[in-house]
Amino acid sequence: MKRCLLIPILIFTYSCYSQAQDLNARVKILAPKIQVSNKRIFTTLETAMKDFLNGRKWAADAIAPNERINCNFVLNITNWDGGSNFSCEMQVQSSRPVFNSSYTTTLLNINDRDVDFTYTEGQTIDYSDQNFQSNLSSVMAFYAYIIVGMDYDSFSRYSGSPYFAQAQTVVQNAQTAAYKGWKAFDSNLNRYWLSENLNNKLYNNLRSFIYDYHRNGLDMMADNAVKARKTISTILPQLTQVDRKRIGSYLPLAFFTAKDDEFVSIFSKAVGPEKAQAMNTLIQADPANGNKYETLK
C-alpha cells in the first residue's frame, strides 16, 4: 500500500499530464429537468470531465494502476440555457479498500450545490495551479486534491497535508471569480470552508482519528474483528470533542456523512456495554444522526 509509507520530498507536477493516472474517476451527467431533444453536449461534457480527472497527475508519488483512488463525480444539471451556461449540483464520493478484504470504505461523500460554469461542446478544459482558468476545471481540481489528501490521511497520519494545501491554493486563486462556493461569506458549508477546516490545526484531532480508525481499526478487521472493534471503541470518544471548536463546521459534517452508516454496521456486531457505550458516544458526537445510532439498541 503506497500511502502507508512516509512521503519523500514532494515535487509537485500537478499541471502536467501523465499516462500514470492517480484517480479512477467515474463521471455521470444527469439532466432530468432539461427538456431538449439533442443532449449530445452532455455526453461530450461527461467524457471531457472524465479525461480531465483521470488524465492528470494529482499526487506526488507514483501510483500503481491497482492503487488508483476510486471516486465518483455525479453532475446533476439543474439549468442550461441551451448554449454554454450551466447551473449544477455535484455529488463527489471517494473510497479506499480495506486491507485483506473486499470491503471498500467511504472517505468522502459531499453534495456541492453551487457548481455553475460555461462549457462549449468540444472545448478543452484548461487548468493551471497558478491562476483561475475556469470554474469547472477549478471545482474538479479542488475535489481531486481533497480526494487525494483524504486518501493519504487514511494511510499515514497527516500525510494529506500537501494536497489540502494545494486545494486551498485553488480556493485562493478563485477569490476574484464571480462564481459561488469559493468565498467565506457565500455559505458556511462550501469549498472555502472545507479547505479551511482541513488546513486548520483545530481539526488535527479529527484527521488523526481518521488515520487511527482506518489503519488501526478497519484495516485490522480481517485479522481480528473483535480486537479491531475494541480499538475503534477506545478512540471513539475523541469524536465528541471534534465539533466543540466551532459548532456546525463543515469538516465534521462531511466526516459523519461519510461514516455514520459504517459506524452502525461496525457496532451492530458488538455486545453488551461496548455496544451501548458506542451508541451513546456517537449520539453525543453526531446528534444529527441520532436516530441511526439508536438502532444499536
pLDDT grade, residue 122 (50/70/90)? confident
Give residue 13's pLDDT band: very low, low, confident or very high (50, 70, 90). very low
pLDDT, residue 152, reads 98
**Which segments of 125-224 does DSSP mark as H helices, in order?**
135-155, 161-173, 191-199, 204-211
Residue 110 sits at the vertex; the CA angle it makes with 109 and 112, to the nearest 5 degrees, is 160
- The percentage of the chain sitting over the pLDDT mark of 90, rounded to a whole number, equals 86
Task: Judge whether residue 7 has pLDDT over 70.
Answer: no
- Look up cell 480486537; give the residue: 227
Quote the mean pLDDT of the chain.
Answer: 92
Average pLDDT value for residue range 195-213: 97
Residue 26 has pLDDT above 50, yes or no: yes
Instruction: Beginning with the edge strand found earlier in the chain, give each strand of the sheet holding 69-80 in spatial order.
Output: 23-30, 69-80, 85-97, 104-118
Q: How far apart are CA 106 and CA 89, in angstroms?
A: 20
Render pLDDT for 58-115 as a digit per residue (tens, 0 to 9). 999 999 998 999 999 999 999 999 999 999 999 999 999 999 999 999 999 999 999 9
How confident is the model at residue 14, as a pLDDT?
Answer: 37
CA neighbor of 273 nearest in space, from 238, 217, 230: 230
User: Which pTM does this prediction carry?
Assistant: 0.93
Nearest to 267 by CA among 224, 223, 232, 235: 232
Query: In this structure, what C-alpha cell is assigned to residue 200?
Result: 486548520
Q: Is the Cα dihedral 240, 246, 248, 254 positive or negative?
A: negative
Give dist(CA 204, CA 142) in Å, integer.
Answer: 20
pLDDT tens readout for residues 136-178: 999 999 999 999 999 999 999 999 999 999 999 999 999 999 9
Q: How far is CA 199 from CA 158, 168, 292, in A?
A: 10, 8, 30
Strand partners, 115: 88
Span 44-64, pLDDT tens digits: 999 999 999 999 999 999 999
Question: pLDDT value at position 82?
Answer: 92
Residues 228-249: what's their mean pLDDT? Answer: 90
